[in-house]
């Protein structure tokens, strides 16, 4: 119960980052909108005075005085309108500054839980959507809507019949707005989903551009994208048709109402119940009364998009509240243990790894081998916290990964993934993990440990060489060795490497062996996933992962021994030679 209350309080605090202080600002904006709408009566009153006083008296001074007064009131209205607009723009900027980093944090985590890159990046676009809407005319129309009765009362005071006609027109336009919302709500959701599908295909095609070009099936990839794009455009067209139709009907009804008011006003004037100036005043006031409804219909699509984006942003910021920041722990120095580990694929929930148990002490290095699709990379992702654990524990010095603050754990962990991705920055930025205060000595130490210091110095700008997107200016082997240096930066206690020699030449493999030996010598733990036995030269333990299970675990010389020299099983896991597990010796 207490935990639930704490979580609710945390969610409220996170939501405060999205809505904090907005209630007071909203009340202020409503008040300013009231002043703006009251001042908007200037045109109606000015017309009444011009027709009923200045023209009938023929007084030029009266005309000048009325015009100067109207000019001053219009100036005040303009000032308040500018203030309202600037406040809304600044609210959007504040939302962006407060929420964009949170949304990006969630976007970084989403692929770990089975979401696509397009779905993750949508969180950032949500911030842009909300900010853009707040800077558009849409919010002003919403703040003007509560003040429609001011103009309706004004028209009613001039004549009840005119007020009733204006009220009926306002009600009809309001019904159109509600119908527009009902008919477009479902389409808006479907359009968004279709857009995501289209973006996922586009993202996949862009990532595989080289394969599409080299193997000549880019036309089929474009055709696949075109089908998804057609679905998206079709839904968007239907939504736009509905919105555009209601907007057109709204404009026609508003013009019809304006003409009806003029006609009814003329009839009442002929009967002597209304002055000529009041006819013009009614026309101006009625137009101003119905303008917010008309603007709301015209800006309905941006409003719906902003509402949906705001809803997702609420989910985004509250998602961060469910994870309490753990207490800082001492730097690890003793062990890594895996207890009854089970891992499922994020999104699908398919279990791909189960019943994994082993323990490593400081100074040991483990080689993980086994057939393809056996679960080796899944184990690596669980050990580094990339994928969530369905059951069991991964403990460093006895503390579960979830008990370590994320930033602290990152300092004690080095990770070299199978597909090395380098950031768009300099070599120094990449090796130092974007450190705010980079230690040049630590960068050079990591580069030397990976055996690339001399290679970097031969580049035109050395450590300040810009790599560009994904480090495409370097070869695959160079990227892999820079990724190794990044994993070694700061002398982390646990270094996990997935196929670290897949793109290395003989010199690179020697550097990798020295790096593993260096990790062991300083009391760290190294874990290496390998298909090529050369990567296992410096490890002392071998684990065989097969069909999602730990098929073997033991000393390297035992697991790699020929069949006739194979010893009896030791411990809980049987020792299986590499050739028996489908891995070449």
| Tokens standing for residue 360 | 């490593």
Containing 513, the helix (H) or strand (E) segment is helix 506-521
Dist. CA 77–CA 42, nearest whole Å: 9
| Contact criterion met (CB below 8 Å) for 383 and 339 | no
| Contact criterion met (CB below 8 Å) for 396 and 332 | yes
| Contact criterion met (CB below 8 Å) for 535 and 526 | no
Nearest CA to 178 out of 39, 293, 36 is that of 293
Dist. CA 73–CA 96, nearest whole Å: 35
Q: Which residues of the chain have pLDDT under 70?
A: 1-21, 319-324, 470, 562-585
Buried b (16+ CB within 10 A) or exposed e, 453-483: bebbeeeeeebeeebeeebeebeebbbbbbb
Dist. CA 33–CA 37, nearest whole Å: 6
Please give the torsion angle defined by the CA atoms of residues 331, 335, 340 and 343, in that order, rounded to the nearest 10 degrees: 50
Collapse the DSSP code of 369 into the 3-class scheme (helix H, G, I; strand E, B; otherwise coil) and give the result.
strand
Going by their DSSP bridges, the two strands 391-396 and 399-400 should be labelled as: antiparallel
Q: What radius of gyration do the chain's Cα atoms show?
A: 35
State the CB neighbour count (10 A cutoff) for residue 178.
9
Kindly give, in sequence order, each residue whose CB lies less than 8 Å from that of residue 79, ignoring residues fewer than 6 positions away. none
Q: Which residues pair with residue 361 across a beta bridge?
A: 335
Dist. CA 580–CA 585, nearest whole Å: 10
Give residue for tokens 């055996």: 451
Please give the torsion angle defined by the CA atoms of residues 55, 59, 65 and 70, in that order, rounded to the nearest 10 degrees: 10
**pLDDT value of residue 322:** 56
Angle formed at CA 168 by CA 166 and CA 169, multiple of 5 degrees: 65
DSSP-derived secondary structure letter, 426: B
Dist. CA 410–CA 101, nearest whole Å: 19
**pLDDT value of residue 579:** 46
Collapse the DSSP code of 358 into the 3-class scheme (helix H, G, I; strand E, B; otherwise coil) and give the result.
strand
Going by their DSSP bridges, the two strands 549-555 and 541-546 should be labelled as: antiparallel
Dist. CA 60–CA 8, nearest whole Å: 68
Answer left, alpha or beta for residue 211, where phi above 0 means left and psi between -120 and 50 means alpha.
alpha
DSSP-derived secondary structure letter, 325: P
50 CA to centre of own chain: 57
**pLDDT value of residue 573:** 42
Give residue for tokens 């890159």: 117
Going by their DSSP bridges, the two strands 365-369 and 351-361 should be labelled as: unpaired
Going by their DSSP bridges, the two strands 399-400 and 413-416 should be labelled as: unpaired
Q: Is 220 exposed, middle or buried (0-12, 13-18, 19+ CB in 10 A)?
A: exposed
| pLDDT tens track for 42-96 | 988 998 888 888 888 888 988 899 999 999 999 999 999 999 999 999 888 888 8
Dist. CA 479–CA 456, nearest whole Å: 11
| Contact criterion met (CB below 8 Å) for 536 and 519 | no
Q: Is 429 exposed, middle or buried (0-12, 13-18, 19+ CB in 10 A)?
A: buried
Dist. CA 385–CA 508, nearest whole Å: 28
Answer left, alpha or beta for residue 114, where phi above 0 means left and psi between -120 and 50 means alpha.
left
Dist. CA 229–CA 222, nearest whole Å: 10
**pLDDT value of residue 563:** 57
| Sign of torsion over alpha carbons 322, 421, 522, 387 | positive
Going by their DSSP bridges, the two strands 351-361 and 494-498 should be labelled as: unpaired
**Domains of the chain by start residue, with CATH:** 12-320 (1.20.1560.10), 330-412+492-585 (3.40.50.300), 422-491 (3.40.50.300)
Containing 431, the helix (H) or strand (E) segment is helix 427-431
| Tokens standing for residue 436 | 């705010």
Give residue for tokens 């989903």: 193
How are the residues of the chain apportioned to helix, strand and coil, as percentages rounded to the nearest 5? 65, 10, 25
Query: In 208-217, which ranges are continuous DSSP H helix?
Result: 209-214
14 CA to centre of own chain: 16
How many helices (H) and strands (E) the chain has is answered by: 21, 10
């Amino acid at each position: 119960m207490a935990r639930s209350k704490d979580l609710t309080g945390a969610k409220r605090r996170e939501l405060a980052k999205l809505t904090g202080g907005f209630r007071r600002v909203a009340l202020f904006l409503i008040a300013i909108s009231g002043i703006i709408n009251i001042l908007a009566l200037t045109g109606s009153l000015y017309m009444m005075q011009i027709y009923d006083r200045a023209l009938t008296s023929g007084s030029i001074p009266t005309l000048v005085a009325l015009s100067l007064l109207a000019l001053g009131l219009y100036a005040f209205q303009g000032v308040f309108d500018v203030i309202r607009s600037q406040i809304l723009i600044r609210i959007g900027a504040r939302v962006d500054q407060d929420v964009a980093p949170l949304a990006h944090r969630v976007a970084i985590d989403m692929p770990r839980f089975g979401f696509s890159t397009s779905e993750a990046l949508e969180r950032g676009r949500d911030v842009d959507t909300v900010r853009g809407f707040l800077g558009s005319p849409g919010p002003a129309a919403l703040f003007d809507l509560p003040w429609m009765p001011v103009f309706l009362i004004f028209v009613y005071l001039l004549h009840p019949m005119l007020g009733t006609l204006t009220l009926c027109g306002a009600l009809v336009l309001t019904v159109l707005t509600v119908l527009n919302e009902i008919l477009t709500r479902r389409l808006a959701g479907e359009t968004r989903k279709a857009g995501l599908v289209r973006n996922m295909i586009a993202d996949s095609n862009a990532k595989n551009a080289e394969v599409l070009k080299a193997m000549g099936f880019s036309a089929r990839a474009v055709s696949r994208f075109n089908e998804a794009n057609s679905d998206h455009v079709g839904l968007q067209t239907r939504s736009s048709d509905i919105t555009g139709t209601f907007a057109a009907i709204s404009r026609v009804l508003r013009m019809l109402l304006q003409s009806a008011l003029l006609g009814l006003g003329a009839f009442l004037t002929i009967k002597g119940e209304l002055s000529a100036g009041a006819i013009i005043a009614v026309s101006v006031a009625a137009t101003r009364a119905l303008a917010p409804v008309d603007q709301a219909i015209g800006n309905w699509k941006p409003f719906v998009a902003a509402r949906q984006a705001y809803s997702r942003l609420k989910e985004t910021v509250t998602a961060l509240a469910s994870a309490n920041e753990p207490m800082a722990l001492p730097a690890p120095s003793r062990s890594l243990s895996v207890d009854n580990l089970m891992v499922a694929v994020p999104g699908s929930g398919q279990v791909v790894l189960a019943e994994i148990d082993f323990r490593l002490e400081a100074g040991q290095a483990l080689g993980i081998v086994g057939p393809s699709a056996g679960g080796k990379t899944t184990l690596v992702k669980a050990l580094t916290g990339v994928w969530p654990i369905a059951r069991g524990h991964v403990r460093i010095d006895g503390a579960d990964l979830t008990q370590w603050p994320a930033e602290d754990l990152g300092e004690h962990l080095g990770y070299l993934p199978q597909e090395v991705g380098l950031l768009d920055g300099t070599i120094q930025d990449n090796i130092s993990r974007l450190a705010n205060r980079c230690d040049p000595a630590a960068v050079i130490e990591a580069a030397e440990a990976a055996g690339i210091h001399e290679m970097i110095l031969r580049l035109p700008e050395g450590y300040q060489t810009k790599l560009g997107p994904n480090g495409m200016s370097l070869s695959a082997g160079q990227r892999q060795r820079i990724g190794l240096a990044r994993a070694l930066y700061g002398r982390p206690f646990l270094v996990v490497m997935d196929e670290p020699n897949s793109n290395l030449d003989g010199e690179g493999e020697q550097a990798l062996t020295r790096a593993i030996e260096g990790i062991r010598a300083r009391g760290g733990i190294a874990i290496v996933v390998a298909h090529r036995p050369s990567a296992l030269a410096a490890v002392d333990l071998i684990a065989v992962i097969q069909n999602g299970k730990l098929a073997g675990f033991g000393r390297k010389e035992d697991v790699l021994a020929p069949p006739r020299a194979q010893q009896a099983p030791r411990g809980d896991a049987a020792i299986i030679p590499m050739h028996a597990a489908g891995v070449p010796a």
